[in-house]
Structure 1
């Protein structure tokens, strides 16, 4: 059963660069998919977080 995860990327000023939801079957898959999205959009080095539907932090970079 897939669940909806949320990926958000920020500028140091707090401005949101990306606020995207995606589906994944597990936290591990969400971590991979979120990482791929960050690479595609060239946001790997920006402040970002990915959270599970339960609010668990899956990915974080400051």
Structure 2
């Protein structure tokens, strides 16, 4: 299992969401991350998802 981190920021830099989760593959984690962004209505808000410093999802 690999550790993933999903973070969402508003325009002032305030952290709106900061979650970590574990999955076996990047594809599973990306699917979960996108689902969480949709659930919280943050698809268009600045966000990133990383694993071991690798940027997997990014929106500015």
- For Structure 1 versus Structure 2, the TM-score category normalised by the shorter chain is over 0.9
- Number of aligned residues: 60
Question: Structure 1 stretches of 5 or more lacking a match?
Answer: none
Tell me the SS of whatever aligns to 2:44.
coil
Match for residue 5 of structure 2?
A: 6
Superposed, 1:22-41 pairs within 5 Å as 22-41=21-40
Give the TM-score, by structure 2 length.
0.94
Question: Structure 2 stretches of 5 or more lacking a match?
Answer: none
Q: CA deviation digits over 1:12-46, x for unaligned, max 9?
A: 10000001001111111111110001011111110
CA RMSD of aligned residues (A): 0.7
After the TM superposition, which parts of structure 1 deviate over 2 Å for at least 4 consecutive aligned residues?
none
Separation (CA, whole Å) in 2 of partners of 1:47 and 1:9: 6
